[in-house]
């Protein structure tokens, strides 16, 4: 496995995305958190801003939708040219139908589960998705503490992905830093979202490389 690091721009300067992108050029993709103030108690930005972010980014854009009405709204985000679109199982009425629509629109289809949601549905329908996101904080805000009690879920997802031999990325999001990334990688995560632990550093590219290195070494154990 090779670790992928996706910095979350939730912790970036919202007035300077273009310069902020340059500071994280060694990332594998840029994680963009769309929040609607309903699915989560926080509001960020929507489709017009994501369209521009896709246009100005040299890296793939990984959209994380924390919004309601996602069955209706998500495909427009795939149409922007985003590399992947993650929606929450809790917000979708027909997740398999939605995943197929996202793939048809040219994006990788990804499903997220909040800490309180079990993996039964995801594991029963694994081949429909290109990525699974196990949240390691309650979605809504950056800078929260990593929930190590989510690791059994990560292990469960890793075991099933490997058992079926599927080419699916397993992402964790929330509280990932130099210490917690090792725990998450050992549990089987291979794609790591990191907001505050990247953007709080003056050498952000150095921090991205450090995180990637720690995760890749953890895979060897």
Is 210 a binding residue for ligand DX5 by CB under 6 A? The answer is: no
Closer residue to ligand DX5 in complex, CB, 176/215: 176
- Kindly list the strands in the beta sheet with 169-173, ordered across the sheet, starting from the edge strand earlier in the chain: 4-7, 191-194, 169-173, 131-135, 108-113, 84-88, 61-66, 30-35
> Which span sits near ligand DX5 by CB under 6 A: 52-60, 95-103, 138-146, 163-171?
138-146
User: Distance (Å, rounded) from C-alpha 126 to C-alpha 124?
Assistant: 6
Task: Provide, rounded to whole angstroms, the least separation between the CB of residue 12 and ligand DX5.
Answer: 10
Is 88 a binding residue for Zn ion by CB under 5 A? The answer is: no
User: Distance (Å, rounded) from C-alpha 33 to C-alpha 65?
Assistant: 6
Is 33 tagged catalytic?
yes
> Which span sits near ligand DX5 by CB under 6 A: 3-11, 76-84, 87-95, 147-155?
3-11
Residues in 104-143 at the binding interface with Zn ion, rule: CB under 5 A: none
User: Distance (Å, rounded) from C-alpha 57 to C-alpha 30?
Assistant: 8
Among 173, 183, 188, 207, binds Zn ion (CB under 5 A): 173
DSSP assignment of 34-75 equals EEBSSSSS-B---HHHHHHHHHH-SS-EEEEEE-SSHHHHHH
188 binds, among Zn ion, ligand DX5, none (CB under 5 to 8 A by kind): none
DSSP assignment of 184-205 equals HHHHT--EEEESHHHHTSSSHH
Is 36 a binding residue for Zn ion by CB under 5 A? The answer is: no
Is 62 a binding residue for Zn ion by CB under 5 A? The answer is: no
Is 173 tagged catalytic?
yes
The catalytic residue among 130, 173, 177, 190 is 173
């Amino acid at each position: 496995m090779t670790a992928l690091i996706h910095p979350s721009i939730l912790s970036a300067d919202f007035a300077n995305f273009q310069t902020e992108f340059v500071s994280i050029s060694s990332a594998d993709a840029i994680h963009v958190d769309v929040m609607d103030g309903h699915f989560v108690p926080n509001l960020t930005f929507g489709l017009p801003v994501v369209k521009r972010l896709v246009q100005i980014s040299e890296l793939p854009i990984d959209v994380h939708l924390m919004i309601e009405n996602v069955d209706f709204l998500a495909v427009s985000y795939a149409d922007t040219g985003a590399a992947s679109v993650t929606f929450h199982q809790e917000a979708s009425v027909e997740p398999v139908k939605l995943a197929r629509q996202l793939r048809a629109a040219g994006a990788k289809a990804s499903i997220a589960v909040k800490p309180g949601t079990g993996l039964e549905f995801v594991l029963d329908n694994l081949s429909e998705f290109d990525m699974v996101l196990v949240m390691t904080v309650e979605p809504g805000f950056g800078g929260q503490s990593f929930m190590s009690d989510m690791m059994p879920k990560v292990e469960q997802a890793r075991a099933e992905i490997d058992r079926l031999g599927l080419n699916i990325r397993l992402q964790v999001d929330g509280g990932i830093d130099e210490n917690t990334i090792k725990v998450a990688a050992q549990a089987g995560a291979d794609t790591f979202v990191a907001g505050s632990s990247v953007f709080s550093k003056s050498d952000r590219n150095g921090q991205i490389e450090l995180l990637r290195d720690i995760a890749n070494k953890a895979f060897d154990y």
